[in-house]
A and B are shown apart, each in its own frame.
Chain A
């Protein structure tokens, strides 16, 4: 895909985040979508492309009253929205549609109008993982981490520092769910969830949503908000069975998606001003820093523990507080994208001064899928 041909011209989250007991999941989609459409200064009838995950595009299109000429229902977990951005950019460039709406919402805490996730007993996951006691992401996502720690010499204290540093970012963000400072000791003494991970190393469970609007870069200059251009993109999948990853030392899906995006963007790691790495659990930023090529995996724990990713550090990472402290309704990728867009617009609560390039990396379905989007505010 060519660089900077498509831009984000509308971006918004749901009016409220956190616990929203008065709204169903589909209404959360609509709330975010209407906010993003208003942000872009558009009418519903201007939208001719729609993408969403978990809920189907037909549900969202009908509920909003949109008649699209392009739809994408890619649903590969929490990074689905990174893939939607990539697919939408290609579709706009190909002339299949002009203005795409991407929505996410999840009533993850209040569970209103949300279908329960279900693993059929005759699926491969149902036969070869579920019988051994996996039960939701906290029991599955951390399964590789002990091997990762042994191979790369990562310590429990370094993994605790991921949560500590992200809370420092969250403290700057009025919309963050958890804002009180925490220490390594607080993390390592919090309730055990699935050894080696404790409560403060696991993502929040909240309600909320977000939406993006994309159009061609040529049209983008006529919109009310500063356009944020799509500089590079990548995606891949590996396996829905965490036990069947090629190795636990890295993520194959990360190692495909990340470098694809960097190559397409034509940038090096030194060019990155701002970084988001989807942090459903505390090990993911370490996988991401290594697999995206910022540094060898062996150095990632020390890099974070030494403060390089905290406010004022040389590589600002997860500046909204991340899934650990900002919010996590179940599919956090949309919120990572929203924070990258805010940083590129220059309006983030914890704004990185003069940031021009933002890398936003997502993971989905444990390590099943990955998507990377690189944004810039300069064309």
Chain B
């Protein structure tokens, strides 16, 4: 029997650009053309000033570890515990949930505010997830 699968996102018209971006190896955010607010998750208007004039741009992919848990039980389908569920604060301002790769999943290794950089984890031919690893150098 196949392993139970990890929850897979299903894009909507408003989020398609984000998932097209991760598939192309880019972390895409949105910036308001009127007030310059950078925001996440995606939507076709600025949640700060309500302007519909917004632009998609490629983010730096750099951020830092804002907070996390190391989940032991119950584990989500497709995950082997213990695994960290992290919230990353991007250099551009917004925060996003993600996982931390290339790093022991321990409190000692996962230091708050440690610099991180984006990496991409392909789930299938449609969906690639943005994950983060400790920044090099």
Alpha-carbon gap, A7 to B77, bound state (A): 47
Complex CA distance for A192 and B82, rounded to whole angstroms: 10
Q: A126-B7, A243-B97 are in contact. Are A143 and B85 (CB under 8 A)?
A: yes
| Contact code string A129-155 (vs B, CB < 8 Å = 1, else 0) | 111111110111011111100100000
B99 contacts A133, C-beta separation under 8 Å: yes
Cross-interface CB contact of A248 among B11, B41, B67, B86, cutoff 8 Å: B67
Is the beta-carbon distance between A133 and B67 smaller than 8 angstroms? no
The A-contacting residues of B in range 18-74, CB under 8 angstroms, are: 19, 40-41, 66-74
In the complex with contacts A133-B83, A244-B95, A121-B8 CB distance below 8 A = yes
**A120, A124, A146: which contacts B112 (Cβ < 8 A)?**
A146
**Residues on B with beta carbons closer than 8 Å to the beta carbon of A131:** 6-9, 123, 129
B119 within 8 A of A: no
Assess whether A133 is in contact with B10, with CB atoms less than 8 Å apart.
Answer: no
Interface residues of A in 224-248 (CB under 8 A from B): 241-244, 248
Measured between beta carbons, the chain A residues less than 8 angstroms from B99 are 132-133
Instruction: Given the known inter-chain contacts A127-B15, A131-B7, A243-B95, please indicate yes or no for A146 contacting B85, CB distance below 8 A.
Output: no
In the complex, chain B residues 73-106 whose Cβ is within 8 Å of any chain A Cβ: 73-79, 82-83, 85-87, 95-99
Main secondary structure of the interface of A (DSSP, over half): mixed
In whole angstroms, how far apart are the Cα atoms of A191 and B74 in the complex?
Answer: 12
| A96 surroundings in chain B (CB, below 8 A) | none
Please tell me if the beta carbons of A136 and B112 are within 8 angstroms of each other in the complex: no
Looking at the assembled complex, report how far the CB atom of A108 sits from the nearest CB atom of chain B, in whole angstroms: 15
Chain B proximity of A45: nearest CB distance (Å): 45
Q: Is A193 in contact with chain B by the CB < 8 A criterion?
A: yes
- Partner pick for B69 among A195, A241, A244, CB 8 A cutoff: A195
- Interfacial residues of chain A within 84-128, with CB under 8 A of chain B in the complex: 119-122, 124, 126-128
| Contact status B96-A243, CB under 8 Å | yes
With A131-B9, A143-B67 known as contacts, the answer to whether A195 contacts B82 (CB < 8 A) is: yes
Q: Which secondary structure dominates chain B's binding surface? A: loop
**Contact residues on B (Cβ < 8 Å of other chain), bracket:** 35 or more
Which of chain A's residues have a CB closer than 8 A to the CB of B78? 133
Interface centre among B12, B76, B87 (most CB of A within 10 A): B87
Residues in B whose Cβ lies below 8 Å from that of A138: 71, 73-74
Flag if A128 contacts B9 (CB, 8 Å): yes
Contacts of A127 in B (CB 8 A): 9-12, 15, 19, 41
Bound state CA distance, A133 and B4, in angstroms? Answer: 13
B42 vs chain A, min Cβ distance (A): 9
B98 touches A132 (CB 8 A): yes
A194 close to B (CB within 8 Å): yes
Contact of B75 among A124, A126, A133 (CB under 8 A): A133
Chain A hits for B96, CB < 8 A: 128, 243
> Which of A121, A126, A136, A139 has the largest number of chain B CB atoms within 10 A?
A139
- Is the Cβ of A142 less than 8 Å from the Cβ of B69? yes
Residues of chain A lying within 8 A (CB to CB) of residue B74: 135-136, 138-139
B72 and A143 form a contact (CB under 8 A): no
* A199 to chain B: closest residue by CB: B73
**Residues on the B chain within 8 Å of A126, using CB:** 7, 9-10
Inside 8 A of A196's CB, which chain B residues have their CB?
69, 107
- Of all chain B residues, the one with the shortest Cβ separation from A129 is B97
Q: How far is the CA of A124 from the CA of B97 in the complex (A)?
A: 12
Min CB–CB distance B13 → chain A (angstroms): 10
Contact A133 B71 (CB under 8 A): yes
Contacts of A132 in B (CB 8 A): 85-86, 97-99, 129
Binding site for B on A (CB under 8 A): 119-122, 124, 126-136, 138-140, 142-147, 150, 191-197, 241-244, 248
15 contacts between A and B (CB under 8 A): A124-B41, A127-B9, A127-B12, A132-B97, A133-B76, A135-B75, A138-B71, A143-B69, A144-B67, A147-B66, A147-B112, A191-B72, A192-B72, A195-B69, A241-B41
Give chain B's interface residues, CB within 8 Å of chain A.
Answer: 6-12, 15, 19, 40-41, 66-79, 82-83, 85-87, 95-99, 107, 112, 123, 129
Ranked nearest first, the 3 interchain pairs of A and B with the lowest CB-CB distance are: A135-B76, A127-B9, A147-B67
Given contact pairs A133-B76, A191-B72, A241-B41, a sample of 19 additional A-B residue pairs in the complex whose CB atoms are under 8 Å apart: A119-B7, A121-B10, A122-B11, A122-B12, A127-B11, A128-B9, A131-B7, A132-B97, A135-B71, A135-B79, A143-B87, A145-B67, A146-B69, A150-B112, A192-B82, A193-B73, A194-B70, A195-B107, A241-B97
